[in-house]
Amino acid sequence: MSQGPGKAKRGIPSKSENFNEWYPFMVEAAELVDKRYPIKGMDVWRPYGWKTMKLIDALTHAEMERTHHEEVNFPLLIPENLLEKENALVARLKKAREEGVDPDDLRDEEEEGGFKKEVYWVKHAGDNELDIPMFLRPTSETAMYTMFPLWIRSHKDLPLKVYQMVNTFRYETKQTRSFIRVREIHFFEAHTAHADEDSASQQIEQDLEIVDNLMHQLCLPVIKAKRPVWDTFPGAWYTIGIDAVMPNGRTLQVASCHHYRDQWAKAFDISYENLEAEQQHCHQTTYGMSERLLGAVVGMHGDENGLIMPPAVAPFQVVICPMIRKNSDVDTVAVAEEMATKLRRHGLRVKVDARDIRAGQKYYDWEIKGVPLRLDVGPRDIAQGTAFAARRTGGKEPVSMDDLPNACMTILDEISDELRLRSSAHMNDVLQPLPAFTEIDGNWTMEGEVEDGKIYQIPFDGTDAHAEAIERATGMTFLGDSTESYESNMPCHMSGNMTRRRVLLAKTY
Amino acid sequence: MSQGPGKAKRGIPSKSENFNEWYPFMVEAAELVDKRYPIKGMDVWRPYGWKTMKLIDALTHAEMERTHHEEVNFPLLIPENLLEKENALVARLKKAREEGVDPDDLRDEEEEGGFKKEVYWVKHAGDNELDIPMFLRPTSETAMYTMFPLWIRSHKDLPLKVYQMVNTFRYETKQTRSFIRVREIHFFEAHTAHADEDSASQQIEQDLEIVDNLMHQLCLPVIKAKRPVWDTFPGAWYTIGIDAVMPNGRTLQVASCHHYRDQWAKAFDISYENLEAEQQHCHQTTYGMSERLLGAVVGMHGDENGLIMPPAVAPFQVVICPMIRKNSDVDTVAVAEEMATKLRRHGLRVKVDARDIRAGQKYYDWEIKGVPLRLDVGPRDIAQGTAFAARRTGGKEPVSMDDLPNACMTILDEISDELRLRSSAHMNDVLQPLPAFTEIDGNWTMEGEVEDGKIYQIPFDGTDAHAEAIERATGMTFLGDSTESYESNMPCHMSGNMTRRRVLLAKTY
């Protein structure tokens, strides 16, 4: 394997003209993954991709530690009978919703539902058929909530806040895409149990704050929307989806939070002794993210020449390219190594590219990989006490060797800001008002067309029938109610009722 | 879940008298794992256990970085047909060994062998039966060596050195034990490809040096032995097993290195263009470790009162217990927090236990969890400018607050040394010379008995028949030739031939 940069030759598909070719080309050209593994939708993570993912994970670990979540690690395999508990719960909630009754008034029903059709099954081991089939976790609610009753006894054990980073599996039948839709998923899941609904609601607030912190580091603006009922996670009271917007205007759900109230706790008998010495069911939440975060980083920040890594997660934040001149008195490589040592001492991640190849080839390689800052050093630079800084976001300038670490850190901060500016500009650009709808005899017609690559927002306080009419006319999906509602009342796009609800519509991945 | 120490009550089984009860009790009492998950041999890692494992992993990551291995992450699932390639290779090598011919002179044969009987199978997904069955990796040779030919072209791509830390699976039919024999294994595997046999041999040397560095940190002496032919990893030229010695004298293989020569490369067509522009097969090595490292730490260092964590991997190296006295003027908790802040600034992992419970209960809890150093602070200590340091390995002394971080670091180093002394003393104690054997009419008789809980070493240069006679008479297993052979020639225990080979015999886990 080439230890250094990619082997890709010129001929990168144009990102602006053909994002759908650029993306799959780039994840391999930048050596993030190798898609040639003989199972579709299961890529091999190569060192550069895995390092980036682990840097994203490190940000998450830090947020988990700050918010006092503890890391656990659950078995991958889940016995079938636990899934049946979940299915019964989901079926009951669905029925209650359809019949408009309190779910507590219904009993669990046997029904094929939930994840059952999307999981990989283990029914054999060695030469044996197993007594109880097991499946590869698509997510760990059922595994964890089987253990929670053993860990929670009294209010002193609450809140219980655990998380894990593990591989999960979905039997995807749709087209797979690296990081975006894969069959083995590098997954993060936090699960919490609380004494009451309020405390669980506060957890959701904290989750959204964590999302904000992470997205700031990844330089990605996101949409946070309370999903419509029909798109709520099975067993949840409500779901908040967090969507990044890709260059083609499609949204990519990169995270989600679920407030379960006490529905799961009732199904799995998770209760505690409250201060009045009574058994009371817990309220629970889940917060999930995945390698899609990397998919969003790749998709949003890259340009015609390759990736652009946000400095917070760039495996190499700085690459130093010493000019290799034979017959020169000046040992540029030694100077480059000294510079690297100095920068590393300040916590920067630095690579020295001392390969004896054309400078143009080096630049090309590191551009594809998206290293945010390149420092060129030749004999003349050294004589002048400077290095030549080239930002991956554009712009070149000499920097003084005297204050190199601070200069680099300042430039990296400016690069982060530039990435934030660009992605926010893109978000503003794609967010559009929806053409008006008119009703004749109960049929709704849209007065105009929706544009490809755009996301639409409307004040909305209509019925499910209104929503359906919009989805049918636009071919788009309701992302739900933005957590940032309108500042003052607006007339609903369909019913005209005054509302502050800001609903978003998009084509989704 | 209790966020702090264990809930276990008094009544710890005696380690010295009944290690086989002490061990399973302790892994749960110290909250390393929870064994109540509904699949046998698949434990839930609790926060304290997972943190310890990750600290062990961090030492490994650092060694990998030092030795220029790159981290990758391969899919868990492997298509059945790749296993068949491995089986054919293994069958060919086995036949060659049995017939005493060069394996290259034989063709691959179809045979059920290798891991086939030990793997979990995925043959169904959703409602479908899969066209090609897949299995959960027991280890990743076949997965990786399918990709290596795509990554290796010329000598410039060599050596290729990659590793991963992943979950692997074995369908164990023997009795399971936390960390020691489990069905989902937290696994480390390094795989390398080299231009020639020499370079691969040097890699094995480096692996053994890494083992030494890790074991020094874990305060564990180990036996490194070249396994006998019949215990060599399938497809390997030779295997070096690294064994820790548990308190009951059983050895626990915690790591192994395999030199494959070019056998696997031939089976998977891994070749490169050498300097003469010819295609040449690579030579390969593997180096594996697992959560058994933690099993050895738990087993070796613990005592009658609980675990003793080696400072290098202790989740908390120091626990500070402020005396909680109502009606006291002195805020001992505030002082404890200040001390903790100061210690953390020096990179120490510190817990403040400010629970308002009896001091004895706190001591008991942290003893079970094996925190190496406890600092008690009461109003009188504070007045005197000292804290009272209690070592988990025994011994108490006042330490001055003025130089607390250095004092703690010195004590922690001394605790590490003490653990090394103890485990080395145990190793010396269990290593015994084997009673003599006499031969009458081709039948060998041992002149005495082997003792339970001991390991035996002998100069050995005998035949397989000799080895078999020894194994039968002793009920023990040949660990193989120690990498530390005798300094001068000794007469073989059976044949009398002079040899420096030092062979070890033990009961193994």
- What are the structural domain ranges in chain A? 13-76+137-307, 79-133, 316-428, 434-506
CATH topology of domain B316-413: Rossmann fold (3.40.50)
Nearest Cβ partner of B120 from A50, A54, A125?
Answer: A125
A112 near B CB under 8 A: no
A114 pLDDT tier (thresholds 50, 70, 90): low
Nearest-CA distance from A375 to chain B in Å?
Answer: 24
Nearest Cβ partner of A121 from B37, B51, B124?
Answer: B124
Domain A13-76+137-307 CATH superfamily: Bira Bifunctional Protein; Domain 2 (3.30.930.10)
Residues, chain B, total? Answer: 509
Nearest-CA distance from B465 to chain A in Å?
Answer: 32
What pLDDT does residue B10 have?
67
- Say yes or no to pLDDT of A111 above 70: no
A92 pLDDT tier (thresholds 50, 70, 90): confident
What pLDDT does residue B107 have?
62
User: What is the 8-class DSSP label of residue A175?
Assistant: P
Which residues does chain B have with pLDDT short of 70? 1-10, 104-114
Is cis: bond before B435, omega within 30 of 0? no
Nearest Cβ partner of B125 from A3, A120, A151?
Answer: A120
User: What is the 8-class DSSP label of residue A182?
Assistant: -
Nearest-CA distance from A216 to chain B in Å?
Answer: 27
The answer to whether B43 contacts A75, with C-beta atoms less than 8 Å apart, is yes
What pLDDT does residue B5 have?
41
A73, A84, A135, A186, best to mutate vs chain B, most B CBs in 10 Å: A73
pLDDT tens string A448-504 = 999 999 999 999 999 999 999 999 999 999 999 999 999 999 999 999 999 999 999
> Could you give the CA distance from residue A447 to residue A469 in angstroms, rounded to a whole number?
13
B36, B37, B284, best to mutate vs chain A, most A CBs in 10 Å: B37
> Could you give the CA distance from residue A122 to residue B137 in angstroms, rounded to a whole number?
13
B122, B185, B351, best to mutate vs chain A, most A CBs in 10 Å: B122
Tokens, residue A15: 């990102």
Chain B positions touching A162 (Cβ under 8 A) are 1, 47
Size of interface A-B (CB pairs under 8 A): 153
- Say yes or no to pLDDT of A5 above 60: no
Nearest-CA distance from A118 to chain B in Å?
Answer: 5
Question: What's the pTM?
Answer: 0.95
A357 near B CB under 8 A: no
Considering only alpha carbons, which residue of chain B is nearest residue A145?
A: B37
Average pLDDT, chain A: 93
Q: Helix/strand/coil (H, E, C) string of A348-380?
A: CCEEECCCCCCHHHHHHHHHHHCCCEEEEECHH
Chain B positions touching A136 (Cβ under 8 A) are 122
What pLDDT does residue B113 have?
54
Is cis: bond before B149, omega within 30 of 0? no
**CATH class of the domain whose range is A316-428:** alpha beta
B357 near A CB under 8 A: no
- Say yes or no to pLDDT of A9 above 60: no
Residue pair B351/B364 in contact (Cβ under 8 Å)? The answer is: no
What pLDDT does residue B109 have?
54
What pLDDT does residue A326 have?
78
CATH topology of domain B434-506: Translation Initiation Factor IF3 (3.30.110)
Q: Is the ipTM here above 0.85? A: yes
Domain B1-73+148-228+238-306 CATH superfamily: Bira Bifunctional Protein; Domain 2 (3.30.930.10)
The most confident of the ranges A117-121, A324-328, B42-46 is B42-46
Strand segments, DSSP code E, in B52-119 are 70-71, 77-79
pLDDT tens string A221-240 = 999 999 999 888 888 999 99
| Residue B241, C-beta contacts closer than 8 angstroms, at least 6 positions apart | B224, B225, B227, B231, B253, B255, B256, B479, B480
SS3 state of residue B390: strand
What pLDDT does residue B220 have?
98
> Could you give the CA distance from residue A54 to residue A50 in angstroms, rounded to a whole number?
6
pLDDT tens string A185-223 = 999 999 999 999 999 999 999 999 999 999 999 999 999
- Say yes or no to pLDDT of A160 above 90: yes
Tokens, residue B482: 């120690």
**A154-213 residues touching B, CB cutoff 8 A:** 157, 160, 162, 166-167, 169, 171, 173, 184, 186
Which of the pair, A10 or B353, is modelled with greater confidence?
B353
Helices and strands: H and E segment counts in chain A? 12, 27
What pLDDT does residue A1 have?
38
B35 near A CB under 8 A: no
Residue pair B239/B232 in contact (Cβ under 8 Å)? The answer is: yes
